[in-house]
Chains A and B, each alone.
Chain A
Amino acid sequence: MNVLEFAEKIRKNEIDIVEHTGKIIEECNKINKEYNYFNTISGELALQQAHELKKLIKNRDKSIKNKKLLGAAISVKDSICVKGVESTAGSRILQGYKPLFNATVIEKVIKEGGIIIGKTSQDEFGFGSFSTNSGIGFKIPKNPIDKERSCGGSSGGAAGLAKKADFPHIALGESTGGSIASPASFCDVFGLCPTYGRNSRHGLLDYGNSLDKIGPIGKTCYETALLQEAIAGHDPNDSTSLNVQADDCTQVLGKPANGMKIGIIKEAFGEGNDEHVEKHVNGGIERLKEDGVEFEEISLNLPIKYGLATYYMIATSEASTNLAKYCGMRYGAAEKLEGSFNEYFTKVRSANFGDEAKRRIIMGTFARMSGFRDAYYIKAAKVRTLIINEYKKVFRKFDALVSPTVPILPPKFSEIEKLTPLQNYMMDIMLVGPNIAGLPHLSVPVGHEKNLPVGMLLIGDHLQESKLLQLGSVFER
């Protein structure tokens, strides 16, 4: 039963929302023991919400009719603030931090009748591609298909739960450099990273402010589109939020895609890819061809060649600035106040940040140093503009671009341990391009190699989420 059918049953009072929510929370606890998808399960808040909805249903309140997510369980990546629920972004430095407000996207979910069930596990502050860089004391989510393998990252818990949950559920993820599409691909679900500025970032624990995007991850393309529709729109609390009308993403789903033109990114195929991944992505391309979509091979040199370097320069610079506020004075973790401020901050930060967070703070601080800022950060910002220009040129001709989402099948944890930091960063090679250009992209599950899922990446021009979802819905028929 998908979210739409479920909402209908709730509306007709065929399912008791409170009872149902209680069961879901129980189920979440059970799943979590085995798979570590949650940092916090917010059972109390969920039941409180369910009671409120039940009251509305009982009173036949008019608002019930229009609530898009009525009764559906919505899990929230831990980096998105939920009022009164511990929100840590997977970091020990934020342990105990309970926001006094809801992120704008959470307000929107609640308004649409969605029930917040908890905060999903992730790489600390989003610093990773496998969800294995979890903060000190946090558990690593396990792939729903094979527990020895990674969920991808950094929204790993979100994607894992999207696949594993049998109850109507959609996940809220967040992507800075590929953190929605990568786990969606590894967990066999749909993941949409929207245009930068499409969804409000207000209430997100920032990683890189010029890169962060909140987006949905769902078992079906329809549910993914539905949550996107619910959270989109301008927000005066976020200065980078786009003042454009939110699309009715679900309206175009299932409409024939014939006549659309897709560019196959030449540089994203061939060397470096697992052959099975390519086989299934090619299968996905064939499937779209059957629907009358035209394909043409194109060269997109800059994003593949310079994307990673540009991304890590900009992202770490922004991250090191953002993380400066976690010093033991304002949020979360604190130590006994003693010594000079420098000694105190150093003590708190040394004890509570994980290794990858420390690595990125050091790299970002280096890139921002006087003189190096000009050599690295400003140069990266310039290359970023060139990359955007190259994409924009291509989108004059194409409705979308296609590549594998990730070059490999979900790896085993034992394999990930052997990777160097650079090899780790290479996993996002297909994903950093659209992320630094702020372009919407959708990972579509296109097949399995011995039960391991493969994702195909569709990249669209700015604000063209609907087109991507329309193409994605072909795989639901």
Chain B
Amino acid sequence: MKKTVIMALLLLLILAACKNETAKEVKMKIAVIETGKGTIKAELYTDKAPITTKNFIELAGSGFYNGLTFHRVEPGFVVQGGDPKGDGTRGSEKNIPLETNQELKHVKGALGMARSEDPDSASSQFYITLAPAPFLDGNYAVFGKVIDGMEIAEKINVGDKMNRVYIIEK
């Protein structure tokens, strides 16, 4: 009898754990970037890039990105934005350390943090790769990937605004 109870309890625990897992899956965080040309949605790798995603989510949550521009467009390489000054020279007040993960590669549509020559200098500027850029792997923090609206990212011109950037959960 005792044994059965323990077994049942164990089973319950396992079930509960499973339920938790699925709950996490459902709670995928997605960055929504609304531009005048359409909306770009990107999955955020909260598990594999916790520091970088936390920083991005906080900035987006505070409305930091709303109204900022894409100031750099390199066809076949990246579109880059998120500088409050709009010319690539500024960022938010806080710098974050370089966070890399071997599993996160610069595939097409990767979301990554721009930085200066100091690896730990990323703050608010981020980029979306328009093509695979393996030479950036390990040197720049990838923290997400475009899952919807890649064709919008490809149409971005210098000076285009991100009207609103916010996070949704799915």
Contacts and interface: CB of A to CB of B under 8 A. Distances in A.
Contacts, number: 23
Contacts of B114: 370-371
B115 A370 contact: yes
Interface residues of A, number: 8
Interface residues of B, number: 13
A6 to B, nearest CB: 52
A373 B116 CA distance: 11
Contacts of B78: 371
A374 B77 CA distance: 12
A379 interface: yes
B139 interface: yes
B116 A375 contact: no
Contacts of B77: 371-372
Interface in A80-94: none
B116 A379 contact: no
A374 B74 CA distance: 15
Interface string B113-149: 0111100000000010000010110011000000000
Nearest to A378: B135
Nearest to B137: A374
A375 B133 CA distance: 8
B116 A374 contact: no
B115 A375 contact: no
A370 B118 CA distance: 11
Contacts of A373: 117
Interface in A169-210: none
A374 B115 contact: no
B133 A370 contact: no
Given A371-B74, A371-B77, A371-B78, A379 B135 contact: yes
Q: Which of A370, A374, A375, A379 has the most CB of B within 10 A?
A: A370
Contacts of A378: 135
Nearest to A373: B117
The winner among A373, A374, A375, A379 for most chain B CB atoms within 10 A is A374
A378 to B, nearest CB: 8
A370 B135 contact: no
Interface in A354-409: 370-375, 378-379
Contacts of B117: 373
B72 to A, nearest CB: 8
A370 B116 CA distance: 7
A269 to B, nearest CB: 35
A379 B135 CA distance: 8
Nearest to B127: A371
Nearest to B115: A370
Interface string A251-269: 0000000000000000000
A373 B115 CA distance: 12
B117 to A, nearest CB: 8
Contacts of B116: 370
Interface in A334-371: 370-371
Contacts of B74: 371-372
A378 B78 CA distance: 18
A375 B136 CA distance: 7
A379 B134 CA distance: 12
Contacts of B133: 371, 375
A146 B147 CA distance: 67
Interface in B90-127: 114-117, 127
A295 B116 CA distance: 51
Interface core residue of B77, B78, B114, B135 (most chain A CB under 10 Å): B135
A74 B19 CA distance: 86
B157 to A, nearest CB: 18
Interface in B29-78: 74, 77-78
Contacts of B140: 371, 374
Contacts of A372: 74, 77
A371 B115 CA distance: 9
A379 B74 CA distance: 19
A372 B114 CA distance: 12
A372 B127 CA distance: 13
B130 to A, nearest CB: 11
B85 to A, nearest CB: 14
A358 to B, nearest CB: 21
23 contacts: A370-B114, A370-B115, A370-B116, A371-B74, A371-B77, A371-B78, A371-B114, A371-B127, A371-B133, A371-B136, A371-B140, A372-B74, A372-B77, A373-B117, A374-B135, A374-B136, A374-B139, A374-B140, A375-B133, A375-B135, A375-B136, A378-B135, A379-B135
5 A-B pairs with least C-beta separation: A374-B135, A375-B135, A374-B136, A374-B139, A370-B114
Given A371-B78, A374-B139, 8 more contacts: A371-B77, A371-B127, A371-B136, A371-B140, A372-B77, A374-B135, A375-B133, A375-B136
